[in-house]
Amino acid sequence: MAPDVHQSPPEGSPGHEEAESAEPAAASGKWRRSVRLTLPGCWGALLFACLSFTPSLLPRGGVLQGLICGITAAIGYGLGVIAAYVWRAFADREARDASRGSWRVFVICAVVLFGLAFGLGQYWQHEIRRLMDVTDYDVLTTVACPFVAALVFWLMLLAGRGLRGLYRWLARHLRRWIGPRAAGVVGWIVVAALAWSVVSGVLLAGIVNGANEAFSLRDTETPEGVHQPTSALRSGGPGSLVPWDTLGYQGRAFTGTGPTAQEIGAFTHRPAQEPVRAYAGLATADDTETRAERAVADLRRAGGFERANLLVMTTTGSGWVDPAAVDSFEYLGDGDSAAVAMQYSYLPSWLSYLVDQSKARQAGRELFDAVYDVWSKLPQEQRPRLFVAGESLGSFGGETAFSGEYDLRNRTAGTLFAGPPNFNTLFREFSDARDAGSPEIEPVYKDGRTVRFTDDPTTGITPEDEQWNGTRVLYLMHPSDPIVWWSPELAFSEPDWIGEAPGSDVLEGMVWIPFVTFWQVTADLPFSTGVPDGHGHTYKAAYVDGWNAVMRPSGFTPQDLERLRDIIQPPEH
């Protein structure tokens, strides 16, 4: 936390430290100093608190809005204090206590401005809910918003002042051996390093260890309603090389569910086959390479390489595969298909990205290479069409098996990635090198010759006037998906997508504000799947038209695709 403008001489100076050390250490005096606020800091907090109500990508509840408001207000307070400190340095004067009149003006302005921002915030949230057909609205949490914000603000302020107190104590002791200026610099460096090590080491390690233990226990369970397959075409079934109890929670969900030949035939009105599904869990093998080999060996045993369509599906951290992605693939392929996937972590996608990013990269590469090794050795006329898919962190892992556009084109028959995180290497390469004039929310790369992007494949995929021959690579990305748009750079620079015409489910009133927008979109991340299909990070029915564009199956009419969308994502009544 920056120096407090009420202190005189200015904080951090040798005179201030000596004066403070001479003050009585009475508990009441310490309490008054800990709760005392500065007027410049309060103006900064008020400004940032009001800005926190501006809209972001997803609707927010009252508690979440309070959390965002408290964090941004604390940031604003710190910036206000720093600004005042710098101003005094240029004006060459010491700090002065604000007059009662100045405080009175501030209080009046705070009530008016905060009330206005709160009201506008509710209106913006209503408009976002309307765009996404969200009907939930909790009045109680909305009323609690200012109180949550105040609590978060005070906790962050006290934490900052605690660090400042630690710095003062350390600098005071360092001055016994080194000069005052050097003591101040060294003190801040040590405190900053200590704070960072606690947050990134102790705190994050504790979260990761706790989550890893919790999710590893869950991995031994079986989802409700899922049973061990009785078909030899599934991992964990009769004759499988991968035992059922090694598949993990998500692996059992993957192989124990899915459309049957009868269900596919009822949709297509023609004979269908039972799809093949192969999977390897963390308990299947100790290392990633062996796990991939086991999954591919079981795929081969079940006849997966003898099907017309073969899908390599890269999972999220916990091994989750969106059923909509694989089910759509199987329906459109008349069941003459096989899919293979494997688990590489116990952790959910967002946490896996922080600590298991290398595992996702290795898993995506090892699984595809293991499949490709067998596939490439088959006679050309006997090879199935080879497809790749992944959602969220799964798209990150899926990308890592390829070096670029031509590698995707030459080694696959098609690729479908949904909700790619902003840090995906190829996604960023294609988006950053997009054709001039195309927007970031729907870029056009190399005239769409191989790679294309869409937020809604039912309305056409740009550029519609250009041919799309050979292998097709398609990215599904909603304008309101925070996983697609979140980046640390949001804190300091405005991305192109905010300055462009907004997508169909993003408010025109969304603007970029330093620090504020970063925290707003960060807060959207955990709730990105808590919105209706077609918004945020929820991709269900879009897989039908996405796979239809990539696979190019014959015999399906627009009415058939509409029926399949209702099967994949039944309409709510």
Q: Tens of pLDDT along 84-111? A: 988 888 877 887 888 899 999 999 999 9
Model confidence at 211, pLDDT cuts 50, 70, 90, reads low
Q: Tens of pLDDT along 37-83? A: 899 999 999 999 999 999 999 999 999 999 999 999 999 999 999 99
Query: Looking at the predicted structure, is the pLDDT value of residue 419 above 50?
Result: yes
Model confidence at 487, pLDDT cuts 50, 70, 90, reads very high
- C-alpha pair distances (Å), 191 with each of 21, 75, 96, 168, 361: 19, 19, 28, 10, 35
Contact by Cβ (8 Å): 285, 366: no
Could you tell me the two tokens for 533? 């299909």
Could you tell me the two tokens for 176? 């016994």
pLDDT at 178: 83
531-563 burial code (b ≥16 CB/10 A, e <16): bebbbbbbbbbbbbbbbbbbbeeeebeeebbee
Residue 545: half-sphere exposure toward Cβ, Cα within 13 Å: 21
Backbone angles phi, psi at 556, to 5 degrees: -110, 125
Model confidence at 9, pLDDT cuts 50, 70, 90, reads very low
pLDDT at 326: 98
- Whose CA is closest to 328, among 281, 253, 263? 263
Contact by Cβ (8 Å): 273, 336: yes
Residues sharing a CB contact under 8 Å with residue 67, sequence separation 6 or more, in sequence order = 148, 149, 152, 523
CB atoms within 10 A of CB 155: 12
Query: Looking at the predicted structure, is the pLDDT value of residue 26 above 50?
Result: no
Query: Looking at the predicted structure, is the pLDDT value of residue 545 above 50?
Result: yes
Query: Looking at the predicted structure, is the pLDDT value of residue 162 above 90?
Result: no
DSSP assignment letter at 572:
P
Could you tell me the two tokens for 63? 């508690």
Query: Looking at the predicted structure, is the pLDDT value of residue 191 above 50?
Result: yes
Report the pLDDT averaged over residues 477-483.
95
pLDDT at 217: 72
Q: Tens of pLDDT along 294-334? A: 999 999 999 999 999 999 999 987 899 999 999 999 999 99
Residues sharing a CB contact under 8 Å with residue 376, sequence separation 6 or more, in sequence order = none
Beta bridge partners of 416: 389, 474
Residues sharing a CB contact under 8 Å with residue 479, sequence separation 6 or more, in sequence order = 57, 441, 455, 497, 502, 503, 504, 505, 506
Model confidence at 407, pLDDT cuts 50, 70, 90, reads very high
Report the pLDDT averaged over residues 144-153.
95
Q: Tens of pLDDT along 251-309? A: 999 999 999 999 999 999 999 999 999 999 999 999 999 999 999 999 999 999 999 99
The secondary structure element, H or E, covering residue 82 is: helix 62-91
Cα gap 552→418, rounded to integer Å: 18
Q: Tens of pLDDT along 510-536? A: 999 998 999 899 999 988 999 999 999
Residue 142: half-sphere exposure toward Cβ, Cα within 13 Å: 14
Query: Looking at the predicted structure, is the pLDDT value of residue 350 above 90?
Result: no
pLDDT at 24: 44
- Whose CA is closest to 563, among 136, 215, 269? 269
Whether pTM > 0.75 for this model: the answer is: yes
pLDDT at 573: 54
Residue 359: half-sphere exposure toward Cβ, Cα within 13 Å: 24
Q: Render 179-235 in DSSP notation, one character per residue.
A: -HHHHHHHHHHHHHHHHHHIIIIIIHHHHHHHHHHHHHHHTTS--TT-----STTBT
Could you tell me the two tokens for 31? 């309490």
Give the percent of the chain with pLDDT over 90: 70
Query: Looking at the predicted structure, is the pLDDT value of residue 405 above 70?
Result: yes
Q: How many residues does the chain have?
A: 573
- Higher pLDDT: 484 or 88? It is 484
Residues sharing a CB contact under 8 Å with residue 154, sequence separation 6 or more, in sequence order = none
pLDDT at 22: 42
- Higher pLDDT: 43 or 4? It is 43
Contact by Cβ (8 Å): 338, 276: yes
In 3-state terms, the chain is what percent helix, strand and coil (to 5)?
Answer: 55, 5, 35
Model confidence at 200, pLDDT cuts 50, 70, 90, reads low
Query: Looking at the predicted structure, is the pLDDT value of residue 16 above 50?
Result: no
Q: Tens of pLDDT along 231-246? A: 999 999 999 999 999 9
Beta bridge partners of 278: 340
